Amino acid sequence: MKQVQVLLWDVGGVLLTNAWDHDERECAFERFRLAKDDFEARHKEVFIDLEMGKLTLDEYLDRTVFYQDRDFTRQDFKDFMFSLSKPKASVLEFARALSRRYLMLTVNNESRELNEYRIRQFGLNHIFPFFVSSCYVGLRKPDEKIYRLALNLIQKAPEECCFIDDRAGNLEGAAKVGINTVLMRDVAQLKSDLQKLGIHT
């Protein structure tokens, strides 16, 4: 069995809070008094295109929020969206320590504007030299193709890699191409499971 040399990380739910998932949208419904059912129906029609880089954030908001006059501005809404992102400090610290010994990259589903804000705001570019984000590569987890693309970019065999995510469904595509996987519940469990694969800080 080959030694694990590369760690692939999800971002939302692992390193940071989610960017624009159910809980974040619920906060927006309350803050801006949006009709939930209408928003969610519109969101469902376009969110995949948003995450795959086919829509800008402004185009997404045109379809989901600003198709009618509002008593708040587009910038108000975008600032609120960005403000919802928070770090998972203990996991970020652990990832930073691991980056001194292992090649690290993210494999995540996220829109371009939120992805780039989060990279800058939380210094992810100081930990990860590569971002295999859905908005850049036009592929989304759990499609096996995004994991194969990551392997091609770093020129490593799947058994030399481990993918960390908080959603079991996203791990399935990685496992199918032969990548080791860890389902993260908390940082203590993550450290324990990685140690079983020979990964230490």
Per-domain boundaries in the chain: 6-17+87-196, 22-83
111 and 146 Cβ atoms separated by less than 8 Å: no
Q: What is the mean pLDDT of residues 120-140?
A: 98
Which amino acid is it at 8? L
Answer yes or no: is pLDDT of 99 > 70: yes
- Rounded Cα distance between 158 and 29, Å, is 42
Rounded mean pLDDT of 182-192? Answer: 98
CA distances (Å), 100 to each of 133, 184, 187, 200, in order?
22, 21, 18, 11
Give per-residue pLDDT as tens, 39-87.
Answer: 999 999 999 999 999 999 999 999 999 999 999 999 999 999 999 999 9
pLDDT band per the 50, 70, 90 thresholds, residue 170 = very high
Looking at residue 2, what is its pLDDT? Answer: 84
Q: Quick check: 1 pLDDT over 80?
A: no
Closest Cα to residue 165, out of 181, 178, 154? Answer: 181
- The mean pLDDT of 127-155, rounded to a whole number, is 98
DSSP secondary structure code for residue 16 in this structure: B
Burial of 68 (C-beta count, 10 Å sphere; 0-12/13-18/19+): exposed
* CATH pick for 22-83 out of 3.10.450.50, 3.40.50.150, 1.10.150.240, 1.10.420.10: 1.10.150.240
pLDDT grade, residue 29 (50/70/90)?
Answer: very high
Largest CA distance in the chain: 60
What average pLDDT score do residues 159-174 get? 98
User: Region 173-199: what's the mean pLDDT?
Assistant: 97
For the cut 70, the answer to whether the pLDDT of residue 27 exceeds it is yes
Residue type, 184: M
142-168: burial string, b at 16+ Cβ within 10 Å, e else: bebebbbbbbeebebebebbbbbbbbe
Which secondary-structure segment (H or E) carries 103? strand 103-108
Any idea which residue has 């504007």 for tokens?
A: 113
- Is the pLDDT assigned to residue 183 strictly greater than 90? yes
The architecture that CATH gives domain 6-17+87-196 is: 3-Layer(aba) Sandwich (3.40)
pLDDT on residue 62: 98
